[in-house]
């Protein structure tokens, strides 16, 4: 290379090193060409490995001579064979005259790389993004395949995100893997954490199968067999273990069809006839079509002897299958348009009906359709809506393709459809037969003689190790082979060589004794008192209770530090070394931070890992602060982001690390969801009828619970209203605290627990009308979707709520350069009147603005004499509840397994009449809940057969009413 070229290359290295954090260029221990996989796209870059972090800088490559090349990605294979650069289109005179409108860019292809660099610097500045991957934030790394080649490495981050990286050779991949392993990055092919739900993974504490075996513990499969993890969680774990990834559309996770009845008006999930035969692949379900596949396999002869026998020429999971299902959802719609030349496929070939897709995949789809499902069918209703209003065409039967057509039992609501599909996946029938499907996809029936007998043999290029891509020297043949692999789909890595063991029982029976299902046997266990109001409660795994007082928040994960605010100088304190932060013990002051807000700090919360402290103030601003590292507690907080979106004082905050969200409520009734990862506004909820008094997040599903002016709302993360109910009409019994007791899985409806100003605690359960109860209450089906529901009528007539509900639905269409987008509704008739098609469309949109579930009262407890200010249900212990009030009283509640009485010494006054007990006065105990009452407060008696009391025994008034109601409902 000439001196001039050498100087330019040195300048390029200087530019790329400037993208690294200051000082990091001195600690670089290695670098490799690397590509980041996103969907079907491959983004080239250079991977730098330092002592504490690795950095991926895109749009660069290094050639064999060590020369750095700038890449403008115009296609997957655009590297250094020829170099593309972009310049303003037209002559220099035209560009000089056009001072306002930016010039259109054209693509120029040249061979001289040094010349390309000079021209590149003249006309346009390349944008290079540096992606850091700190080692302490990587929880796992796994070797992966890409296009059936062992070139990829997938890293899983602590925030739930993951990246799929590919390298030029297997040797490069292994070198990077070993380098990261030497840096302390965890890797074990049997690690149980990746692929499981975050909560369950935390309980495992990073143990591997080998470690568990040495300790005599059980594997993930054993946990699934015993019903301790859900079917959905186990399938996600197997998909991850088998190399399936959300980052690669050609290896997207695969889930089974489980329901076969998509025609009836109602569905009974206890009826085995509604389920698909899970012991057969999709191609073997229809008898006539199954025979054709068998004939193909039996009569197959390839003259070249290269292609072995197969039943199916297409695959059950491919990039085309994923795009088929997710067509209405960005960015998949954009990818589909790119593959189709800027236009959607013919309407008859699109995903427009659940019933049609089932029949096509199981029987009537000819020899080319054996598709299974994707995970979104069991948790994400959004992909069934045409939210972006794409013009998807008209079928040959003159049917306009818009939202996906649902089965009758879904009642036109995708949210209900997904709920029922999830219930079906976790049903007793599926739990007993799912191991057969696992054998077909991940197990011993995937390949070999067992696959032949099960009619489960696919085209040979879908299996790993069937062909060595690197051995193909002809570039045309190599590209053709890679294209076939991408189009045909890829069979997951085989996990089991022997038949998979069946499940012993469904998860419902194993995980039944929790607050979500048995709140009726919750009893008071003990009482604690602190000075001042109770603002926060934590129950640690070592069974230690920690209490925070007014204007105080405990800092996770060890809760040995606390944040205090509300001081006259507007400062924020960080304190330590106290059993309780309720004002009754001495604390050690670690730091004082001043000037964090322009006004007083009004509320505060912390992330679960204790990394961020989030404050809200009377200045309507939310600030995210990074806490100092361990050993540097006295240092200043670092401002990460200042979030602006509210127009009044922030009243409450909540955050969830699994879903990477912050939820904030304000005095004007506004609730905003913020993205914790990108530190920006994500969504706004409709305006509430009054100030937001409290809110909570369901840690399993991400659903948001909000409370305002006596109303209780449950929202999905996409701002769909799940349920709403007015709980109080007066300020005296308004909602003052709320928490969510989440079940062991998303499909388990949580117990929403509210605390009120009058001291009572209420439990609420979500009910899906027509499915949750064997005896459906009259009118339940209509109560949710009609104006006759008294709860929804109140919601509709609340002007602030109704107006913003209508306004919040986005009417704008997503920009798509070459695909036509449907206009808002259909064409209007004469005089601006709405046509029937537009009215139908408006009804569909309004359905998302209305609740589809009911909030029903499950239980009620009242032991406090003052307003409830704090509720806590430990996620690691779903049999306990802690409640604190404004007077400093903290009650511990627990599910009872046998008869239990509250200790006499723990109660000094009758909870019902508030009269203090005399020194020698007898305290009467309820023989059901164990609570205490005085002699004049209850003379009710009733049998309590649960605890062996066949004859009537004395119970409190609340338990008497509850037991009588339960007895009446059973008759």
pLDDT tens string 765-810: 888 887 755 334 334 434 444 333 434 433 333 333 333 332 232 2
Compute φ and ψ for 451, nearest 5 degrees. Answer: -65, -40
Compute φ and ψ for 964, nearest 5 degrees. Answer: -65, -40
| Mean pLDDT of all residues in 367-371 | 91
| Mean pLDDT of all residues in 439-467 | 92
693, pLDDT greater than 50: yes
3-state secondary structure 892-957: EEEECCCCCCCCHHHCCECCCCCCECCCCCCCEECCCCCCEECCCCCCCEEEEHHHCEEEEEECCH
- Please tell me the distance from the alpha carbon of residue 735 to that of residue 69, in angstroms, as a whole number: 62
Residue 233 · residue 200 · CB < 8 Å:
yes
Please tell me whether residues 57 and 101 are part of one structural domain.
yes
> What token pair was written down for 733?
């019994």
Please tell me whether residues 525 and 430 are part of one structural domain.
no
Pick from 267, 297, 198: nearest CA to 424: 267
Q: Which of 327-331, 650-654, 841-845 has the lowest mean pLDDT?
A: 841-845
From the CB of residue 66, how many other CB atoms can be counted at a distance below 10 Å? 8
pLDDT tens string 745-766: 555 567 899 999 999 999 998 8
Q: Quick one: pLDDT at residue 105?
A: 32
Q: Last residue of some domain: 182, 198, 225? A: 182
Please tell me whether residues 168 and 275 are part of one structural domain.
no
Q: Parallel, antiparallel, or unpaired: how do β-strands 544-549 and 580-581 relate?
A: parallel
Rounded to the nearest 5 percent, the helix, strand and coil shares of the chain are 25, 25, 45
Pick from 844, 869, 659, 683: nearest CA to 761: 869
> What token pair was written down for 136?
């302490």
Please tell me whether residues 431 and 549 are part of one structural domain.
no
Q: Quick one: pLDDT at residue 683?
A: 93
725, pLDDT greater than 80: yes
Q: Parallel, antiparallel, or unpaired: how do β-strands 162-167 and 671-675 relate?
A: unpaired
190, pLDDT greater than 90: no
Q: Last residue of some domain: 134, 160, 182? A: 182
DSSP 130: E
Q: Last residue of some domain: 161, 182, 203? A: 182
From the CB of residue 369, how many other CB atoms can be counted at a distance below 10 Å? 21
**Would 838 be classed as within a structural domain?**
no
Residue 548, strand partner residues:
536, 581
Residue 562 · residue 895 · CB < 8 Å:
no
Q: Is 313 exposed, middle or buried (0-12, 13-18, 19+ CB in 10 A)?
A: middle
Please tell me whether residues 38 and 136 are part of one structural domain.
yes
Please tell me whether residues 661 and 691 are part of one structural domain.
yes
Please tell me whether residues 708 and 772 are part of one structural domain.
yes
Angle formed at CA 329 by CA 393 and CA 276, multiple of 5 degrees: 85
**Would 820 be classed as within a structural domain?**
no
**Would 824 be classed as within a structural domain?**
no
Compute φ and ψ for 565, nearest 5 degrees. Answer: -140, -175
**Would 53 be classed as within a structural domain?**
yes
| Mean pLDDT of all residues in 392-402 | 91
728, pLDDT greater than 80: yes
**Would 837 be classed as within a structural domain?**
no
Element holding 626 (H helix, E strand): strand 621-626
Please tell me whether residues 441 and 570 are part of one structural domain.
no
DSSP 353: B
Residue 16 · residue 47 · CB < 8 Å:
no
From the CB of residue 25, how many other CB atoms can be counted at a distance below 10 Å? 16
Please tell me whether residues 943 and 857 are part of one structural domain.
no
What domain range is 932 assigned to? 898-970
Pick from 501, 436, 419: nearest CA to 745: 419
- Please tell me the distance from the alpha carbon of residue 300 to that of residue 308, in angstroms, as a whole number: 8
Please tell me whether residues 708 and 794 are part of one structural domain.
yes
- Please tell me the distance from the alpha carbon of residue 21 to that of residue 34, in angstroms, as a whole number: 20
23, pLDDT greater than 50: yes
CA 555 to chain centre: 24
704, pLDDT greater than 90: yes
Pick from 809, 780, 805, 807: nearest CA to 795: 805
- Please tell me the distance from the alpha carbon of residue 545 to that of residue 559, in angstroms, as a whole number: 10
Pick from 658, 682, 659: nearest CA to 671: 682
Q: Parallel, antiparallel, or unpaired: how do β-strands 704-708 and 692-697 relate?
A: antiparallel
**Would 882 be classed as within a structural domain?**
no
Domain containing 164 — which CATH number? Answer: 2.30.29.30
The rounded mean pLDDT for the chain is 79
> What token pair was written down for 494?
């085989």
**Would 257 be classed as within a structural domain?**
yes
Residue in the structure block whose two tokens are 């070993």: 178
Nearest-Å Rg of the Cα atoms of the chain is 31
Q: Parallel, antiparallel, or unpaired: how do β-strands 53-58 and 60-62 relate?
A: unpaired
> What token pair was written down for 761?
């605690």
Alpha helices in 229-363 (DSSP H): 231-241, 287-299, 319-325, 332-339, 354-359
- Please tell me the distance from the alpha carbon of residue 722 to that of residue 752, in angstroms, as a whole number: 13
Please tell me whether residues 411 and 528 are part of one structural domain.
no
**Strongest mean pLDDT among 200-214, 716-730, 940-954:** 716-730
Sheet containing 162-167: give its strands across.
130-134, 53-58, 41-49, 30-38, 162-167, 149-157, 138-146
Domain containing 494 — which CATH number? Answer: 1.10.1540.10
Q: How confident is the model at residue 333 (pLDDT cuts 50, 70, 90)?
A: very high
Contacts of 37 (CB under 8 A, 6+ apart): 43, 146, 152, 164, 165, 166, 247, 248
| Mean pLDDT of all residues in 573-601 | 79
- Please tell me the distance from the alpha carbon of residue 628 to that of residue 583, in angstroms, as a whole number: 25
Number of domains composing the chain: 4
| Mean pLDDT of all residues in 801-823 | 30
Q: Which of 384-398, 402-416, 791-805, 930-944 has the lowest mean pLDDT?
A: 791-805
- Please tell me the distance from the alpha carbon of residue 717 to that of residue 720, in angstroms, as a whole number: 7
Domain containing 949 — which CATH number? Answer: 3.30.40.10
Please tell me whether residues 491 and 525 are part of one structural domain.
no
931, pLDDT greater than 90: no
**Would 575 be classed as within a structural domain?**
yes
- HSE value, Cβ hemisphere, 13 Å, CA-based, for 819: 28
Q: How confident is the model at residue 730 (pLDDT cuts 50, 70, 90)?
A: confident
Pick from 747, 803, 824: nearest CA to 421: 747
678, pLDDT greater than 80: yes
| Mean pLDDT of all residues in 345-354 | 93
- Please tell me the distance from the alpha carbon of residue 562 to that of residue 483, in angstroms, as a whole number: 57
Residue 885, strand partner residues:
868
């Amino acid at each position: 290379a000439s001196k001039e070229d050498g100087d330019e290359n040195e300048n390029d290295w200087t530019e790329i090193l400037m993208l690294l954090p200051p000082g990091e260029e001195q600690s670089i221990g290695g670098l490799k060409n690397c590509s980041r996989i996103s969907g079907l796209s491959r983004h080239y870059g250079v991977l730098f490995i330092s002592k504490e972090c690795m950095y991926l800088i895109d749009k660069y490559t290094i050639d064999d001579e060590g020369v750095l090349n700038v890449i403008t990605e115009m296609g997957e294979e655009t590297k250094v064979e020829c170099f593309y650069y972009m310049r303003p289109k037209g002559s220099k005179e035209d560009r000089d005259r056009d001072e306002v409108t930016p010039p259109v860019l054209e693509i120029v292809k040249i061979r001289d790389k040094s010349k390309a660099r000079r021209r590149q610097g003249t006309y346009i500045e390349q944008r290079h993004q540096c992606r850091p991957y700190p080692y302490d934030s990587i929880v796992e790394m796994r070797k992966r395949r890409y296009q059936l080649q062992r070139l990829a490495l997938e890293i899983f981050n602590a925030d739930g995100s993951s990246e799929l990286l590919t390298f030029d050779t297997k040797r490069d991949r292994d070198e990077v893997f070993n380098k990261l392993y030497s840096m302390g990055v965890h890797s074990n092919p049997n690690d149980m954490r990746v692929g499981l739900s975050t909560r369950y993974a935390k309980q495992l504490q990073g143990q591997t199968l080998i470690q568990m075996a040495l300790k005599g513990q059980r594997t993930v499969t054993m946990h699934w067999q015993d019903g301790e993890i859900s079917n959905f969680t186990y399938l996600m774990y197997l998909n991850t273990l088998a190399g399936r990834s959300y980052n690669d559309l050609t290896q997207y996770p695969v889930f089974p069809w489980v329901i076969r009845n998509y025609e009836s008006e109602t569905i009974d999930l206890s009826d085995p006839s509604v389920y698909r035969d899970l012991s057969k692949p999709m191609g073997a379900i229809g008898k006539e079509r199954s025979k054709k596949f068998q004939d193909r396999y039996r009569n197959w002869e390839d003259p070249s002897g290269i292609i072995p026998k197969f039943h199916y020429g297409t695959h059950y999971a491919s990039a085309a299958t994923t795009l088929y299902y997710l067509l209405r959802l960005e960015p998949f719609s954009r990818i589909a348009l790119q593959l189709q030349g800027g236009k959607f496929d013919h309407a008859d070939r699109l995903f427009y009906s659940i019933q049609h897709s089932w029949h096509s995949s199981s029987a009537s789809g000819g020899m080319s359709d054996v598709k299974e499902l994707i995970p979104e069918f069991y948790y994400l209703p959004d992909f069934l809506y045409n939210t972006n209003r794409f013009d998807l065409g008209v079928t040959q039967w003159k049917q306009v393709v818009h939202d996906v057509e649902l089965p009758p039992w879904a009642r036109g609501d995708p949210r209900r459809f997904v709920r029922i599909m999830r219930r079906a996946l976790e049903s007793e029938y599926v739990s007993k037969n799912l191991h057969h499907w696992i054998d077909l996809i991940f197990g011993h029936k995937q390949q070999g003689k067992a696959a032949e007998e099960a009619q489960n043999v696919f085209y040979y290029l879908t299996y790993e190790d069937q062909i060595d891509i690197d051995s193909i020297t002809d570039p045309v043949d190599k590209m053709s082979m890679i294209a076939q692999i991408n189009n045909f789909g890829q069979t997951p890595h085989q996990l089991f060589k022997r038949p998979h063991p069946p499940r012993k029982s469904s998860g419902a029976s194993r995980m039944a004794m929790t607050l979500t299902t048995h709140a009726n046997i919750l009893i008071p266990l003990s009482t604690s008192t602190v000075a001042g109001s109770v603002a926060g409660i934590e129950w640690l795994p070592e069974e230690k209770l920690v209490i925070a007082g007014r204007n105080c928040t405990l800092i996770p994960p060890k809760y040995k530090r606390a944040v205090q605010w509300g001081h006259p100088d507007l400062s924020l304190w960080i304190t330590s070394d106290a059993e309780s932060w309720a004002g009754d013990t001495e604390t050690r002051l670690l730091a004082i931070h001043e000037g964090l807000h322009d006004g007083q700090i009004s509320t505060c919360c912390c992330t679960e890992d204790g990394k961020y402290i989030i404050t809200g103030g009377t200045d309507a601003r939310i600030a995210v602060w990074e806490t100092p590292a361990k050993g540097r507690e006295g240092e200043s907080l670092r401002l990460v982001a200042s979030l602006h979106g509210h127009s009044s004082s922030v009243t409450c905050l909540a955050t969830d690390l699994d879903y990477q969200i912050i939820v904030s409520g304000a005095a004007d009734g506004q609730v905003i969801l913020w993205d914790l990862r990108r530190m920006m506004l994500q969504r706004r909820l409709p305006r509430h009828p009054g100030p937001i008094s409290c809110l909570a997040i369901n840690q399993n599903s991400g659903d948001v619970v909000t409370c305002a002016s006596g109303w209780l709302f449950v929202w999905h993360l996409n701002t769909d209203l799940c349920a709403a109910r007015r709980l109080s009409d007066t300020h005296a019994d308004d909602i003052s605290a709320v928490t969510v007791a989440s079940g062991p899985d998303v499909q388990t409806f949580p117990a929403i627990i509210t605390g009120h100003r009058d001291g009572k605690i209420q439990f609420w359960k979500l009910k899906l009308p027509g499915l949750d109860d064997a005896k459906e209450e009259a009118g339940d089906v209509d109560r949710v979707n009609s104006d006759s529901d008294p709860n929804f009528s109140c919601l509709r007539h609340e002007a602030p709520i109704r107006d913003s509900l209508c306004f919040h639905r986005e009417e704008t269409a997503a920009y798509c350069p070459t695909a036509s987008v449907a206009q808002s509704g259909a064409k209007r008739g004469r005089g601006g009147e709405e046509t029937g098609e537009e009215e139908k469309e408006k009804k569909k949109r309004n359905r998302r603005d209305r609740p589809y579930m009911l909030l029903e009262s499950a239980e009620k407890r009242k032991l406090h004499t003052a307003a409830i200010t704090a509720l806590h249900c430990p996620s690691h212990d779903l049999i306990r509840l802690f409640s604190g009030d404004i007077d400093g009283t903290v009650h511990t509640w627990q599910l009872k397994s046998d008869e239990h009485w509250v200790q006499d010494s723990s109660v000094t006054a009758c909870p019902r009449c508030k009269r203090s007990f005399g020194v020698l006065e007898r305290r009467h105990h309820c023989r059901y809940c164990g609570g205490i009452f005085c002699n004049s407060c209850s003379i009710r008696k009733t049998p309590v057969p649960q605890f062996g009391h066949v004859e009537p025994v004395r119970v409190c008034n609340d338990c008497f009413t509850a037991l009588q109601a339960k007895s009446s409902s059973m008759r």
